[in-house]
């Protein structure tokens, strides 16, 4: 598969997934209520997925996941988590995390 | 042509939706820019990135898939990840269905495509199905259209501005930070927090697994732990359905 085809397969596949997950009950006009356990699974999975994406990405050193705290990204991640939890503000989270990344890489590479 | 005669009550509801959604755009705009930058720095051309933004219109799924795309994960792993991140929309869809059940099908298709977290939460907090507010779908459309326009504009800014920013600024890291901010409203009780912590550990431990399967394993582990915690640590009933973020 050429890289270009792969990208468009990704885009169209994601488009279908995004639409179907929003439309699945609205478009047929169904009136069902989800069983509590199903609803719990649907609510727990996205949080688990985001954490599963974020954590290894914080531990990446030159592209490779490395279990070491001597990594500016880990420091920046800790700062971002604290700011995100306190402010719930995306702009503050990004700004403080990027500032922490910059500072930490300065300090660590003295 | 009836369609061209915009009923005053309809345009009033639409306008009210737009105005009510203004505070939400403060969060939507930077997130859109970051997603635009992230798509381009993952290697998408600007045409592909604009196409993704218009067709997919699901920022958290896009951001979640891009690190996997960079790591050359198989398509099905990326699809599965996007589906999992989008599972919350299944709940929104179930909640919204009775509100929109009487609308013509093109309306239901449009309102589905354009659904976003913030407008959904605002709408479900404000209206009930069958509450007699006949134009509430216009309110929903107004808020959603504003979010859509802001999102697409911000995303395009990120796509075309992102390539001007030097690589040494590590701007792709901003995408991870944006996901961190998006995560917070999803951590609504002890069970989901416990599940999320386990998911993080499993994902880290499984980061060397082939095909990026660590992420999917982590989700399964996280959900199982979440369900176990709910079972043995009774949560307050308020954690039920009405306050979906």
Q: What is the ipTM of this complex?
A: 0.88
Q: Are residues B162 and B203 both part of a single domain?
A: no
Residues A49-80: tens digit of each pLDDT = 999 999 998 998 877 888 888 899 999 999 99
pLDDT higher for A33 or B53? Answer: B53
Which residue of A50, A52, A90 is in closest CB contact with B30?
A90
Q: For residue A87, what pLDDT is reported? A: 92
Classify residue A92 by burial, with Cβ atoms within 10 Å: 0-12, 13-18, 19+: middle
Closest-CA distance of chain A to residue B12, Å: 24
Split into its structural domains, chain B has a count of 2
- Cβ separation B207–A59 shorter than 8 A: yes
Q: Please list every residue in chain B whose beta carbon sits closer than 8 Å to the beta carbon of residue A49.
A: 64, 81, 84-85, 199, 215, 218-219, 222
Residue range(s) defining the domain that contains residue B204: 187-245
Q: Are residues A15 and A48 both part of a single domain?
A: no
How is chain A split among helix, strand and coil, in percent rounded to 5?
A: 70, 5, 25
Q: Would B167 be classed as within a structural domain? A: yes
Q: For residue B217, what pLDDT is reported? A: 95
Q: What is the DSSP letter of B168?
A: G
Q: For residue A91, what pLDDT is reported? A: 87
Closest-CA distance of chain A to residue B11, Å: 23
Q: For residue B4, what pLDDT is reported? A: 58
Residue range(s) defining the domain that contains residue A5: 1-32
Q: Are residues B147 and B232 both part of a single domain?
A: no
Q: What is the DSSP letter of A70?
A: -
Q: Are residues A59 and A17 both part of a single domain?
A: no
Paired residues of A60 in beta bridges:
A65
Q: Would B182 be classed as within a structural domain? A: no
Which residues in chain B show pLDDT less than 70?
A: 1-4, 234-245
Q: For residue B243, what pLDDT is reported? A: 37
Q: What does the alpha-carbon distance between residue B33 and residue A9 come to, in Å, rounded to a whole number?
A: 23
The two counts, helices (H) then strands (E), for chain B are: 11, 0
Q: Are residues B149 and B199 both part of a single domain?
A: no
For the question of whether the overall pTM of this predicted structure is more than 0.80, the answer is yes
Which residue of A26, A33, A59 is in closest CB contact with B112?
A26
Q: Would B88 be classed as within a structural domain? A: yes
Q: For residue B3, what pLDDT is reported? A: 56
Closest-CA distance of chain A to residue B236, Å: 14
C-alpha A91 chain-centroid distance: 15
Q: What does the alpha-carbon distance between residue B244 and residue B90 come to, in Å, rounded to a whole number?
A: 12
Split into its structural domains, chain A has a count of 2
Q: Are residues B122 and B13 both part of a single domain?
A: yes
How much of chain B, in percent, has pLDDT values that exceed 90?
62
Which residue of A17, A76, A89 is in closest CB contact with B86?
A17
Paired residues of A65 in beta bridges:
A60
Of the candidates B163, B113, B226, B119, which has an alpha carbon nearest to the alpha carbon of residue A48? B226
Contact B62, B182 (CB under 8 A): no
Q: Are residues B51 and B114 both part of a single domain?
A: yes
Report CA dihedral (B229, B182, B25, B6) to the nearest 10 degrees. Answer: -50
Q: Are residues B222 and B162 both part of a single domain?
A: no
Q: Which of B116, B146, B174 is at the close of a domain?
A: B174
A26 pLDDT exceeds 90? yes
Contact B32, B152 (CB under 8 A): yes
Q: Would B134 be classed as within a structural domain? A: yes
Q: For residue B65, what pLDDT is reported? A: 94
Q: For residue B240, what pLDDT is reported? A: 42
Q: For residue B238, what pLDDT is reported? A: 44
Q: Are residues A57 and A85 both part of a single domain?
A: yes
Q: Are residues B7 and B49 both part of a single domain?
A: yes
Q: Are residues A61 and A86 both part of a single domain?
A: yes
Q: Are residues B95 and B206 both part of a single domain?
A: no
Look up tokens 């997603």; give the residue. Answer: B35
Q: Are residues A22 and A52 both part of a single domain?
A: no
Q: Please list every residue in chain B whose beta carbon sits closer than 8 Å to the beta carbon of residue A11.
A: 48, 51-52, 55-56
Q: Are residues A94 and A46 both part of a single domain?
A: yes
Q: Please list every residue in chain A whose beta carbon sits closer than 8 Å to the beta carbon of residue B214.
A: 52, 56
Q: Please list every residue in chain A whose beta carbon sits closer than 8 Å to the beta carbon of residue B25.
A: none
Q: For residue A110, what pLDDT is reported? A: 65
Q: Are residues A25 and A52 both part of a single domain?
A: no
Q: Please list every residue in chain A whose beta carbon sits closer than 8 Å to the beta carbon of residue B32.
A: none
Q: Would B122 be classed as within a structural domain? A: yes
Q: What does the alpha-carbon distance between residue B217 and residue B78 come to, in Å, rounded to a whole number?
A: 14
Which residue of B81, B101, B185 is in closest CB contact with A49?
B81
Residues A80-104: tens digit of each pLDDT = 999 999 998 888 999 999 999 999 9
Q: Are residues A71 and A86 both part of a single domain?
A: yes
Q: Are residues A2 and A47 both part of a single domain?
A: no
- Cβ separation B64–A49 shorter than 8 A: yes
- Cβ separation B87–A46 shorter than 8 A: yes
């Amino acid at each position: 598969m050429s890289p270009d085809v792969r990208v468009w397969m990704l885009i169209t596949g994601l488009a279908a997934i995004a639409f179907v997950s929003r439309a699945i009950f609205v478009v047929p006009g169904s009136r069902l209520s989800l069983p509590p356990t199903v609803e719990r699974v649907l609510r727990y999975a996205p949080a688990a997925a985001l954490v599963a994406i974020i954590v290894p990405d914080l531990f990446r050193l030159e592209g490779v996941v490395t279990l070491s705290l001597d990594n500016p990204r880990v420091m920046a991640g800790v700062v971002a988590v604290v700011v995100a939890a306190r402010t719930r503000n995306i702009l503050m989270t990004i700004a403080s995390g990027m500032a922490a990344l910059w500072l930490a890489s300065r300090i660590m590479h003295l | 042509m009836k369609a061209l005669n915009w009923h005053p009550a309809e345009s009033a509801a639409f306008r009210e939706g737009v105005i009510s959604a203004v505070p939400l755009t403060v969060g939507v705009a930077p997130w859109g820019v970051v997603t635009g930058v992230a798509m381009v720095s993952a290697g998408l051309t600007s045409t592909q990135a604009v196409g993704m933004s218009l067709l997919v219109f699901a920022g958290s799924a896009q951001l979640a898939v891009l690190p996997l795309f960079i790591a050359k994960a198989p398509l099905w792993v990326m699809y599965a990840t996007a589906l999992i991140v989008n599972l919350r929309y299944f709940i929104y869809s179930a909640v919204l269905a009775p509100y929109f059940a009487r609308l013509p099908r093109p309306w239901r298709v449009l309102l589905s495509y354009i659904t976003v977290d913030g407008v959904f939460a605002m709408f479900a907090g404000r209206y009930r199905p069958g509450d007699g507010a006949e134009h509430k779908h216009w309110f929903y459309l107004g808020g959603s259209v504003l979010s859509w326009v802001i999102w697409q504009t911000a995303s395009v800014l990120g796509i075309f501005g992102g390539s001007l920013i030097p690589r040494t600024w590590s701007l792709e890291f901003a995408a991870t930070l944006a996901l961190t901010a998006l995560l917070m409203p999803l951590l609504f009780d002890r069970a989901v927090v416990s599940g999320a912590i386990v998911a993080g550990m499993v994902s880290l431990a499984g980061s060397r697994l082939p095909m990026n399967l660590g992420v999917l394993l982590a989700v399964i582990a996280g959900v199982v732990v979440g369900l176990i915690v709910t079972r043995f640590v009774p949560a307050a009933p308020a954690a039920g359905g009405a306050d979906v973020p």
